[in-house]
Each structure stands twice: as structure tokens, then as C-alpha cells.
Amino acid sequence: MPKSLAGAYVSAYVTANNHESATTLAVTRLTAQGYEFLDTQGPITRLDHRQWSAHVAQSWPEFIDELPKQNEIAEGLQGEMVFFGPFVGYERAERVDR
């Protein structure tokens, strides 16, 4: 990650029995890649796997070719699957003295 960035937001997509297991698995995979996990933001929601293509088209249209396809999602339900959406970086806040 560029040094000018303070961090990034990322959506995690996980196959799991419940949101606690999904969160644990997502954090484990993220930290295994060398990232530091700070906190969750927003709600943890369940996504019907049959709506995946529509979700990507609505939420990440510019990344359609980089995210898993509908059939890959269906195959991933057979076991443990974790992947991340695009990382959205944010810059360090500059201190303003008054």
C-alpha cells in the first residue's frame, strides 16, 4: 500500500454458517496476506448466492472482470471460500494548526 495512504476499506465475501464465523475467517485471511485489521464498518449482511451477478453489476460494475463469476460462487459454496472486493484507500489526515 502506498505510504501516502493511512488505510483502506474492503468488502469481504465469505461462505460460512453464520456472521461470526464469516468475520473470523475474513480477518484470518486478511491478516495472513499481511494486512492489519482494525474494525468492521457497516452491517454484516447475508447475500443470496443466486444474486451475485446482480450484486456485482450494482456495487462493483468496473470490476466485473476481476471478481468471481456466478458459477464460481456456486462452486465455492461446496467448501470454504473467502475473497475480497476492491480495496478503497484513504489518505492520512493532515494536521491543521490554528
User: What integer pLDDT is reported at residue 93 of this predicted model?
Assistant: 67
Cβ contacts of residue 66 below 8 Å, gap of 6+? 86
User: What integer pLDDT is reported at residue 64 of this predicted model?
Assistant: 93
Whole-model pTM: value is: 0.81
24-54: burial string, b at 16+ Cβ within 10 Å, e else: ebbeebbeeeebeeeeeeeeeeeeeeeebee
List of long-range contacts for 52-58, beta carbons under 8 Å, 24+ apart: none
User: What integer pLDDT is reported at residue 23 of this predicted model?
Assistant: 93
- Convert the pLDDT of each residue in 62-80 to its tens digit: 999 999 999 999 888 888 8
Q: Which residue ranges of the chain lie beneath pLDDT 50?
A: none
- All cell numbers assigned to 62: 468496473
User: What integer pLDDT is reported at residue 32 of this predicted model?
Assistant: 96
User: What integer pLDDT is reported at residue 3 of this predicted model?
Assistant: 77
Instruction: Specify the DSSP class assigned to residue 30.
Output: H
